[in-house]
A and B are shown apart, each in its own frame.
Chain A
Amino acid sequence: DTAVSQTPKYLVTQMGNDKSIKCEQNLGHDTMYWYKQDSKKFLKIMFSYNNKELIINETVPNRFSPKSPDKAHLNLHINSLELGDSAVYFCASSQDLGFGQPQHFGDGTRLSIL
Protein backbone atom coordinates (compact mmCIF):
# COMPACT_ATOMS: atom_id res chain seq x y z
CA ASP A 1 0.00 0.00 0.00
CA THR A 2 1.29 3.43 -0.95
CA ALA A 3 1.68 5.55 2.20
CA VAL A 4 1.50 9.01 0.57
CA SER A 5 -0.07 9.10 -2.86
CA GLN A 6 -0.38 12.03 -5.24
CA THR A 7 -2.34 12.41 -8.44
CA PRO A 8 -1.65 13.08 -11.18
CA LYS A 9 1.98 12.07 -11.60
CA TYR A 10 2.37 14.34 -14.65
CA LEU A 11 0.46 17.50 -15.48
CA VAL A 12 1.01 19.40 -18.72
CA THR A 13 -1.07 22.49 -19.26
CA GLN A 14 -1.06 25.98 -20.72
CA MET A 15 -0.32 29.28 -19.07
CA GLY A 16 -3.36 30.85 -17.48
CA ASN A 17 -5.16 27.59 -16.73
CA ASP A 18 -6.29 26.41 -13.29
CA LYS A 19 -5.27 22.96 -12.05
CA SER A 20 -5.41 20.82 -8.92
CA ILE A 21 -3.13 18.18 -7.42
CA LYS A 22 -4.52 15.70 -4.92
CA CYS A 23 -2.70 14.08 -2.03
CA GLU A 24 -3.78 11.34 0.37
CA GLN A 25 -1.93 9.61 3.18
CA ASN A 26 -2.94 6.34 4.85
CA LEU A 27 -0.44 6.53 7.71
CA GLY A 28 -2.83 8.07 10.21
CA HIS A 29 -0.63 11.15 10.44
CA ASP A 30 -1.90 14.49 11.71
CA THR A 31 0.35 16.76 9.65
CA MET A 32 0.72 17.20 5.90
CA TYR A 33 2.93 19.39 3.71
CA TRP A 34 3.41 20.67 0.19
CA TYR A 35 6.91 21.24 -1.21
CA LYS A 36 8.11 22.64 -4.51
CA GLN A 37 11.27 21.23 -6.13
CA ASP A 38 12.82 23.31 -8.89
CA SER A 39 14.89 22.17 -11.85
CA LYS A 40 18.08 22.29 -9.75
CA LYS A 41 16.50 19.91 -7.20
CA PHE A 42 16.19 22.65 -4.58
CA LEU A 43 13.33 21.76 -2.23
CA LYS A 44 11.25 24.47 -0.55
CA ILE A 45 8.29 24.10 1.77
CA MET A 46 5.10 25.82 0.66
CA PHE A 47 2.45 24.86 3.21
CA SER A 48 1.85 22.66 6.20
CA TYR A 49 -1.46 21.64 7.76
CA ASN A 50 -2.13 20.00 11.08
CA ASN A 51 -5.54 18.38 11.62
CA LYS A 52 -6.91 20.46 8.74
CA GLU A 53 -5.54 23.71 10.15
CA LEU A 54 -3.03 25.83 8.20
CA ILE A 55 0.27 26.07 10.06
CA ILE A 56 2.86 27.27 7.52
CA ASN A 57 2.37 29.47 4.47
CA GLU A 58 5.84 30.28 3.18
CA THR A 59 5.13 33.48 1.22
CA VAL A 60 3.52 31.51 -1.56
CA PRO A 61 1.51 33.56 -4.10
CA ASN A 62 -2.19 33.49 -3.31
CA ARG A 63 -2.75 31.80 -6.69
CA PHE A 64 -1.86 28.66 -4.70
CA SER A 65 -4.65 27.53 -2.40
CA PRO A 66 -4.33 24.37 -0.32
CA LYS A 67 -7.43 22.62 0.92
CA SER A 68 -7.63 19.94 3.58
CA PRO A 69 -11.08 18.29 3.71
CA ASP A 70 -9.85 15.91 6.42
CA LYS A 71 -6.51 15.14 8.00
CA ALA A 72 -5.75 12.38 5.48
CA HIS A 73 -6.03 14.68 2.46
CA LEU A 74 -4.29 17.86 1.40
CA ASN A 75 -5.03 19.11 -2.09
CA LEU A 76 -3.31 21.95 -3.92
CA HIS A 77 -5.21 24.18 -6.31
CA ILE A 78 -3.32 26.59 -8.54
CA ASN A 79 -5.02 29.44 -10.40
CA SER A 80 -3.75 31.30 -13.45
CA LEU A 81 -0.70 29.11 -13.96
CA GLU A 82 2.54 30.84 -14.92
CA LEU A 83 5.70 29.56 -16.60
CA GLY A 84 7.57 29.83 -13.29
CA ASP A 85 5.20 27.33 -11.71
CA SER A 86 6.84 24.53 -13.71
CA ALA A 87 8.37 22.23 -11.09
CA VAL A 88 7.87 18.98 -9.24
CA TYR A 89 5.43 19.30 -6.34
CA PHE A 90 5.74 16.89 -3.42
CA CYS A 91 3.22 16.10 -0.75
CA ALA A 92 4.50 14.78 2.57
CA SER A 93 3.17 13.83 5.98
CA SER A 94 4.46 13.40 9.52
CA GLN A 95 2.99 11.94 12.69
CA ASP A 96 2.41 15.39 14.17
CA LEU A 97 4.11 18.76 14.60
CA GLY A 98 6.51 17.47 17.21
CA PHE A 99 10.12 18.50 16.86
CA GLY A 100 12.30 16.11 14.89
CA GLN A 101 9.51 14.13 13.23
CA PRO A 102 10.60 12.45 9.99
CA GLN A 103 8.45 13.19 6.97
CA HIS A 104 7.09 10.69 4.44
CA PHE A 105 6.94 11.86 0.85
CA GLY A 106 4.80 11.04 -2.15
CA ASP A 107 6.37 10.38 -5.55
CA GLY A 108 5.73 13.90 -6.78
CA THR A 109 3.68 15.61 -9.49
CA ARG A 110 5.67 17.02 -12.39
CA LEU A 111 3.92 20.18 -13.57
CA SER A 112 4.91 21.56 -16.97
CA ILE A 113 3.52 24.85 -18.21
CA LEU A 114 3.52 25.41 -21.96
Chain B
Amino acid sequence: GNSVTQMEGPVTLSEEAFLTINCTYTATGYPSLFWYVQYPGEGLQLLLKATKADDKGSNKGFEATYRKETTSFHLEKGSVQVSDSAVYFCALSDPKSSSNTGKLIFGQGTTLQVKP
Protein backbone atom coordinates (compact mmCIF):
# COMPACT_ATOMS: atom_id res chain seq x y z
CA GLY B 1 0.00 0.00 0.00
CA ASN B 2 0.93 3.65 -0.16
CA SER B 3 2.87 5.16 2.71
CA VAL B 4 5.08 8.08 3.67
CA THR B 5 7.89 7.89 6.22
CA GLN B 6 9.56 10.92 7.75
CA MET B 7 12.52 11.23 10.06
CA GLU B 8 11.74 11.21 13.76
CA GLY B 9 11.64 14.52 15.54
CA PRO B 10 12.05 16.81 17.20
CA VAL B 11 14.80 18.37 15.15
CA THR B 12 16.48 21.16 17.11
CA LEU B 13 18.69 23.66 15.29
CA SER B 14 20.28 27.02 15.95
CA GLU B 15 19.24 29.99 13.84
CA GLU B 16 20.97 30.10 10.43
CA ALA B 17 21.74 26.37 10.49
CA PHE B 18 21.10 24.13 7.47
CA LEU B 19 17.93 22.04 7.61
CA THR B 20 17.18 18.64 6.13
CA ILE B 21 14.04 16.68 6.93
CA ASN B 22 14.03 13.27 5.26
CA CYS B 23 10.94 11.86 3.56
CA THR B 24 10.63 8.58 1.68
CA TYR B 25 7.53 7.10 0.13
CA THR B 26 5.96 3.93 -1.18
CA ALA B 27 3.41 4.23 -3.97
CA THR B 28 1.86 2.00 -6.59
CA GLY B 29 1.86 4.66 -9.27
CA TYR B 30 3.71 7.89 -9.96
CA PRO B 31 2.54 10.17 -7.18
CA SER B 32 2.51 13.90 -6.67
CA LEU B 33 4.45 14.86 -3.55
CA PHE B 34 3.83 17.67 -1.08
CA TRP B 35 5.29 19.33 1.97
CA TYR B 36 2.85 20.96 4.38
CA VAL B 37 3.75 23.07 7.43
CA GLN B 38 1.71 23.42 10.62
CA TYR B 39 2.52 26.39 12.85
CA PRO B 40 1.44 26.18 16.51
CA GLY B 41 -2.32 26.43 16.92
CA GLU B 42 -2.97 26.53 13.18
CA GLY B 43 -3.99 24.22 10.37
CA LEU B 44 -1.71 22.80 7.72
CA GLN B 45 -0.49 25.06 4.92
CA LEU B 46 0.90 23.89 1.63
CA LEU B 47 4.62 24.70 1.55
CA LEU B 48 5.62 23.21 -1.80
CA LYS B 49 4.83 20.44 -4.24
CA ALA B 50 6.32 18.43 -7.10
CA THR B 51 4.37 16.43 -9.63
CA LYS B 52 6.95 14.36 -11.49
CA ALA B 53 10.42 12.90 -11.20
CA ASP B 54 13.29 15.41 -10.92
CA ASP B 55 10.88 18.30 -10.31
CA LYS B 56 12.03 20.71 -7.61
CA GLY B 57 9.41 22.43 -5.50
CA SER B 58 10.45 25.62 -3.70
CA ASN B 59 8.87 28.28 -1.49
CA LYS B 60 10.04 30.66 1.27
CA GLY B 61 13.63 29.39 0.99
CA PHE B 62 12.58 25.74 1.35
CA GLU B 63 13.08 23.29 -1.45
CA ALA B 64 12.61 19.58 -2.16
CA THR B 65 13.44 17.48 -5.20
CA TYR B 66 11.33 14.52 -6.35
CA ARG B 67 13.77 11.59 -6.58
CA LYS B 68 12.10 8.60 -8.18
CA GLU B 69 15.21 6.40 -8.01
CA THR B 70 15.41 6.73 -4.23
CA THR B 71 11.65 7.33 -3.70
CA SER B 72 12.49 10.40 -1.66
CA PHE B 73 11.39 14.02 -1.30
CA HIS B 74 13.68 15.51 1.35
CA LEU B 75 12.98 19.04 2.56
CA GLU B 76 15.93 21.46 2.80
CA LYS B 77 16.56 25.05 3.77
CA GLY B 78 19.91 26.76 3.78
CA SER B 79 19.43 29.00 6.80
CA VAL B 80 16.56 28.48 9.23
CA GLN B 81 14.93 31.16 11.34
CA VAL B 82 13.14 30.99 14.67
CA SER B 83 9.91 31.64 12.77
CA ASP B 84 10.38 28.32 10.91
CA SER B 85 9.64 26.41 14.13
CA ALA B 86 6.66 24.23 13.23
CA VAL B 87 5.62 20.68 12.37
CA TYR B 88 6.40 19.63 8.80
CA PHE B 89 4.40 16.95 6.99
CA CYS B 90 5.35 15.11 3.84
CA ALA B 91 2.40 13.79 1.81
CA LEU B 92 1.61 12.02 -1.43
CA SER B 93 -1.24 11.76 -3.87
CA ASP B 94 -1.09 8.52 -5.83
CA PRO B 95 -3.05 8.53 -9.10
CA LYS B 96 -3.98 4.88 -8.71
CA SER B 97 -5.64 5.40 -5.34
CA SER B 98 -6.28 9.15 -5.33
CA SER B 99 -8.02 9.61 -8.65
CA ASN B 100 -11.64 10.45 -7.98
CA THR B 101 -11.09 10.51 -4.22
CA GLY B 102 -8.67 13.40 -3.63
CA LYS B 103 -6.99 11.32 -0.93
CA LEU B 104 -3.63 12.45 0.48
CA ILE B 105 -1.39 10.11 2.47
CA PHE B 106 0.55 11.95 5.18
CA GLY B 107 3.76 11.10 6.99
CA GLN B 108 3.82 11.26 10.76
CA GLY B 109 5.14 14.82 10.88
CA THR B 110 8.50 16.16 12.04
CA THR B 111 8.72 18.89 14.66
CA LEU B 112 11.36 21.55 14.01
CA GLN B 113 12.54 23.77 16.85
CA VAL B 114 14.86 26.65 15.96
CA LYS B 115 16.65 28.38 18.81
CA PRO B 116 17.98 31.96 18.63
Binding site for B on A (CB under 8 A): 4, 31, 33, 40-45, 48, 50, 55-56, 90, 92, 94, 96-108
Contacts and interface: CB of A to CB of B under 8 A. Distances in A.
Given A41-B108, A43-B89, A43-B106, A99 B43 contact: no
Contacts, number: 72
Nearest to A107: B43
A34 to B, nearest CB: 12
Nearest to A41: B109
Contacts of B98: 99-100
Contacts of A108: 42-43
A101 B109 contact: no
Ranked 4 nearest A-B pairs via Cβ:
A105-B43, A100-B32, A41-B109, A105-B44
Contacts of B89: 43
Contacts of B99: 97-99
Contact of B109 (A4, A42, A100): A42
